[in-house]
Structure 1
Amino acid sequence: MTAQHSTVSEVMTHDVVTVRPDTPFKEITSVLSSHGISAVPVADARGAPMGLVSEADLLRKQAEQRAGGQEAPPGWPREKAKARAENAAGLMTAPVVTAHADWTVAQAAREMDRHRVKRLLVVDETDSIIGIVSRSDLIHVYLRPDEEIREEIRDDVLKGMLRLGGNEVWVQVHDGVVTLRGEVENRSTAQIAGRLARGVEGVVTVRPMIDYAIDDRGAEDQPQPGIEAMELRHRRT
């Protein structure tokens, strides 16, 4: 079995609805409602992303109207302009965080986490919007069957990359939790096996229970040259 890591292109929404900067408030609400979406990208004439209007952006207007003469909530002055906006240019959140279709799901997840956003706009080499990927799209990788995960770790990681025989390390997977049991010659091999298994798509966590005969790592567990390259090669396979 060959390791396959999902890309953004495989999980994103391809048919993206967009609005223009001058699209009025009521038309935006209609777009969200009719397409059953919670946010819509704002694109310029070339199709490049300018911002994103979400349901939260639209609700600011309702919040302002209900506030009336009452005391405004903390931070409200900063949101006042958005609350009184009449079109996408005034309502949108900008700049937006973008991704590329050939990114792995893990790359996209890291980018979302780093910027604390719920979705990424996917752009091509001309910076035109070609898709949108949300947090719910990314977590689908955890629906991968346990047996498929087990086969990848056994065949690609242990046998293919570490050249371990089938009797040295046993792999068990239950609900995405991987348990590695067995014995290898070197401590470094046991640790690399755990690290590579964690990088397999769909793995929730790894419980390494691999014994070793020789402690070849020293007291401080300095990384071995080439481990990072091996992990990168595995992710790209």
Structure 2
Amino acid sequence: MTEFDHFRAGSEAVRSQPDRPWRPGEELRQDLLFRYLSAVASAAESRPGTAEQPSSEEAPSRPQAEPTEHALRVRDAMQVPAAAVLGSTPFLDLVRAFAREHLSAVAVIDAEERVVGVVSESDLLAKAAIEAGTPKAGPISRLRQHGLYEKSRGETAATLMTAPAITVHPGTPVTQAAWLAARSRLKRLPVTDHHGRLVGTVSRMDLLTALVRDDDRIREEIRCDILERALNIDPGSVQIEVDHGLVTLKGHLDSDRSTKLLEQVWAIEDVVGVVDDLDDV
């Protein structure tokens, strides 16, 4: 079972136990996590070699649409300008900057603003802990923690940072960035241009917010981006209903435009299902 399958099974098990009622707001939280994991799982399955191809008898009914131009990209979720420090920044200045700006990680850049690494809270904490007093450790622990001890001797961002940095581009799909952040267990990703220069930053919460849009935002995207802009269809000719990511389409369209509409609605990252109630004209 995939991580998504385990989560779905666990959620259903909790929901089915009458002696453990959900706390207020728990159902909404579970729904948000469901959509987030669904999007991350979809990104994982789209990567080469991560999933077996279904047989013709088990082929899913969902249309396999290509990414559309209205699909969410990192540029739609990232924060600008991004905080950054030079490699020569001293340890104490880093600590003050983290505390002042409420940072969990910061990109380290060179003189040309290219990202060369990332300094995180854990990097600073390891140095602070060892400076306060080296903890006693046995031979095996010392061997395992050798790299951490070596890094803690650093005095500047360049010697404390983790390198090379894991980065994304503004045009990277949000689902792929979410998968990268989840797999790498990173709270924040630097966003760079194709020359490696820092242009922004995107956090896990930024990605989660972008992925888990409420029903009104999904409905608006279908109406404006797909019906009006992409397919040049009068929005009044199609009735759009969205319930917890499940989209129902009603109205009268010719078969060609109906097929394109269904494919593009399926391509919206956080749509969990599409009900086709469209009639041919």
Q: TM-score range by the shorter chain?
A: 0.5 to 0.7
**Helix, strand or coil: the match of 1:31?**
helix
| RMSD (CA atoms) | 3.9
- Structure 2 distance, partners of 1:162, 1:4, is 12
- Structure 1 distance, partners of 2:143, 2:267, is 42
One-letter code of the match for 2:135? G
**Structure (1 or 2) with the greater strand fraction:** 1
Instruction: Give the corresponding residue for 2:89.
Output: 23
Deviation track 1:182-229 (CA, whole Å, cap 9, x = no partner) reads 799xxxx9998766434215xx442345589xxxxxxxxxxxxxxxxx
- Cα distance, 1:198–1:21 mapped onto 2, change above 3 Å: same
**Aligned partners of 2:248 and 2:277 also within 8 Å:** no
Query: Is 1:118 aligned to residue 184 of structure 2?
Result: no
- Cα distance, 1:52–1:156 mapped onto 2, change above 3 Å: closer
Instruction: Give the corresponding residue for 2:8.
Output: none
**Aligned partners of 1:198 and 1:205 also within 8 Å:** yes
- Structure 2 distance, partners of 1:205, 1:6, is 13
**Helix, strand or coil: the match of 2:168?**
strand
- Structure 2 distance, partners of 1:44, 1:87, is 13
**Helix, strand or coil: the match of 2:126?**
helix
- Structure 1 distance, partners of 2:210, 2:121, is 27
**Helix, strand or coil: the match of 2:111?**
coil
**Aligned partners of 1:51 and 1:96 also within 8 Å:** yes
**Aligned partners of 2:266 and 2:274 also within 8 Å:** no
Q: So what's the TM-score if we normalise by structure 1?
A: 0.66
Instruction: Give the corresponding residue for 2:164.
Output: 95
Instruction: Give the corresponding residue for 2:136.
Output: 69
**Aligned partners of 1:170 and 1:181 also within 8 Å:** yes
Deviation track 1:14-60 (CA, whole Å, cap 9, x = no partner) reads 12232222221111101111222111111111111110001111111
Deviation track 1:152-192 (CA, whole Å, cap 9, x = no partner) reads 446766898899999x9964323x421437799xxxx9998
**Structure (1 or 2) with the greater helix fraction:** 2
- Cα distance, 1:130–1:169 mapped onto 2, change above 3 Å: closer
What displacement does 1:73 show? 7.6
**Aligned partners of 1:180 and 1:206 also within 8 Å:** no
1:33-182 equivalence runs, <5 A? 33-64=99-130, 65-71=132-138, 72=141, 75-142=144-211, 144-153=213-222, 171-174=240-243, 176-180=244-248
| Worse-superposed segment, 61-70 or 79-88 | 61-70
**Aligned partners of 2:84 and 2:107 also within 8 Å:** yes
Q: Percent identity of the aligned residues?
A: 33
- Structure 2 distance, partners of 1:30, 1:211, is 58
**Helix, strand or coil: the match of 1:173?**
strand
Q: So what's the TM-score if we normalise by structure 2?
A: 0.57
**Helix, strand or coil: the match of 1:139?**
helix
Instruction: Give the corresponding residue for 1:215.
Output: none
Query: Is 1:200 aligned to residue 262 of structure 2?
Result: no
**Helix, strand or coil: the match of 2:84?**
coil
**Aligned partners of 1:81 and 1:90 also within 8 Å:** no
Q: What are structure 1's unaligned runs of at least 5 residues?
A: 213-237
**Aligned partners of 2:181 and 2:189 also within 8 Å:** yes
- Structure 2 distance, partners of 1:123, 1:89, is 19
- Structure 2 distance, partners of 1:73, 1:181, is 62
- Cα distance, 1:89–1:154 mapped onto 2, change above 3 Å: closer
Q: What are structure 2's unaligned runs of at least 5 residues?
A: 1-68
One-letter code of the match for 1:200? I
| Worse-superposed segment, 39-48 or 71-80 | 71-80
One-letter code of the match for 2:267? G
**Aligned partners of 1:169 and 1:210 also within 8 Å:** no
- Structure 2 distance, partners of 1:151, 1:19, is 40
Instruction: Give the corresponding residue for 2:57.
Output: none
